[in-house]
Amino acid sequence: MFSRFPFFLEESEGRYRAIVDDQPDLVCRRAPDLTLIYINKAYCDAARRSADDLLGKRLFPFTLTSLSLETEAVYQQITLENPIIEFETKDVTSNGLNRWLQWYVRGHFSAHGELLEYNAIGRDITQLKRCEEQNRLYLQSVEYIVHERTHALQESNQKLAEQLMVSEKKAAFLSEQELWYRAVFNNIAELTLLFEQDEEGEADRIIEANIRACQVLQYNHDELVLMVSSDIITEKHNTKYQKSYVKQFTEDQIIRYQGIMMRKDGGEILVDISEQRFRMKEKSVVLMICRCMEEPKDL
């Protein structure tokens, strides 16, 4: 029996290696000097290089060359007291598009506190970053519209009698701008909701929903804007949000996390959420952009 123990270990290691190699996430191990000692298939495919070309080398294929030293410095922040770190990298793919990866790195130490190796898992968050860029453009358009509308109303109050025609033209211009902002909001590719905050500073009443939100959640627009967050977010997820994320959520900061939403038919959808809090006309609101991790079968 003991003579077969090495065989069992080898067989078990082979199974685990096969599982890791089949993972869509990028997995690598590095020696203390940061040379690569293991990479899975997804890592090679994303780097468009063979394992032989990467192993044994001190390379960061998913980081712009100018930022390689910064990436090395991130690894050096890992200590026995702080063995896990999270960071993002940016590079340009072969077709000239930007790509972002989110990395979770853990340092493994001996019983004497000596660093043995680093284990890293990378996840492609390019789509999420693009959603955040859409979010940024959307917020810019909202701020522009609010500024223009306020300015127009001030002028209208001052010169209403003698400049009625001018005021009408400006109102038409602002109406056109508002239609443009609604078109931008409705054409965001991901499920997007705008919430009013309650007295606790948490997302509460839905005040706007885009077309994709109506499609995925199976409600029409008029139904959604009469609902509150608890109508579409599971109680379990809401409890997790309160404990883990709401304390991190300060104004103008973007936070990202996974959650579960409920459709009208009772079905649940796993979503990747990008959330930002900001002010609009002295009112605190929350913009939530959700990428479906499990696409509903009936859409």
Of the segments 181-185, 196-200, 209-213, which one has the largest average pLDDT value? 209-213
pLDDT at 59: 83
Using alpha carbons, select from 144, 161, 125, 97 the residue that is nearest to residue 254: 125
Cα-Cα-Cα-Cα dihedral of 229, 233, 239, 241, to 10°?
Answer: -80
Residue type, 44: C
CA distance 30 to 278: 41
Residue 249 resides in a domain = yes
Q: What mean pLDDT do residues 72-90 have?
A: 92
Q: What mean pLDDT do residues 152-175 have?
A: 63
Q: Specify whether 179 is located in the same domain as 287.
A: yes
Q: Specify whether 112 is located in the same domain as 169.
A: no
The total domain count for the chain is 2
Residue 260 resides in a domain = yes
Q: Specify whether 143 is located in the same domain as 270.
A: yes
pLDDT at 47: 87
Residue type, 259: G
Residue 114 resides in a domain = yes
Residue 298 resides in a domain = no
Q: What share of the chain is helix, strand, coil (3-state, %, to 5)?
A: 40, 30, 30
Domain boundary among the residues 124, 139, 169 is at 124
Q: Specify whether 184 is located in the same domain as 213.
A: yes
Q: Specify whether 215 is located in the same domain as 270.
A: yes
Q: What mean pLDDT do residues 200-216 have?
A: 84
pLDDT at 8: 42
Residue 194 resides in a domain = yes
Does the pLDDT at position 49 exceed 80? yes
Give strand pairing partners of 121: 27, 104
Domain boundary among the residues 124, 141, 157 is at 124
Domain boundary among the residues 124, 158, 179 is at 124
User: Of all residues in the chain, what percent carry a pLDDT higher than 90?
Assistant: 28
Q: Specify whether 140 is located in the same domain as 243.
A: yes
pLDDT at 80: 94
Q: Specify whether 112 is located in the same domain as 12.
A: yes
Q: Specify whether 147 is located in the same domain as 17.
A: no
Neighbours of 242 (CB within 10 A): 12
- pLDDT bracket for residue 32 (50, 70, 90): very high
Q: Specify whether 108 is located in the same domain as 246.
A: no
Q: What mean pLDDT do residues 153-167 have?
A: 65
Q: Specify whether 202 is located in the same domain as 229.
A: yes
**CATH number of the domain that 70 lies in?**
3.30.450.20
- pLDDT bracket for residue 205 (50, 70, 90): confident
Q: Specify whether 145 is located in the same domain as 269.
A: yes
Q: What mean pLDDT do residues 102-118 have?
A: 94
pLDDT at 37: 92
Q: Specify whether 100 is located in the same domain as 181.
A: no
Q: What mean pLDDT do residues 148-166 have?
A: 68
**Which residues are CB-contacts of 98 (< 8 A; sequence separation ≥ 6)?**
90, 91, 92, 126, 129
Does the pLDDT at position 5 exceed 50? no
pLDDT digits (tens, 9 = 90+) for 224-270: 999 988 888 877 776 666 665 555 555 567 888 888 889 999 899 99
pLDDT digits (tens, 9 = 90+) for 265-290: 989 999 888 888 877 777 788 888 89
The three state secondary structure string of 204-252 is EEEEEECHHHHHHHCCCHHHHCCCEHHHCECHHHHHHHHHHCHHHCCCC
Does the pLDDT at position 149 exceed 90? no
Name the residue range of residue 158's domain: 128-292
Residue 297 resides in a domain = no
Torsions phi, psi of 192, nearest 5? Answer: -130, 130
pLDDT at 213: 93
The three state secondary structure string of 18-77 is HHHHCCCCEEEEECCCCCEEEECHHHHHHHCCCHHHHCCCCCCCCCCHHHHHHHHHHHCC
Residue 247 resides in a domain = yes
Residue 299 resides in a domain = no
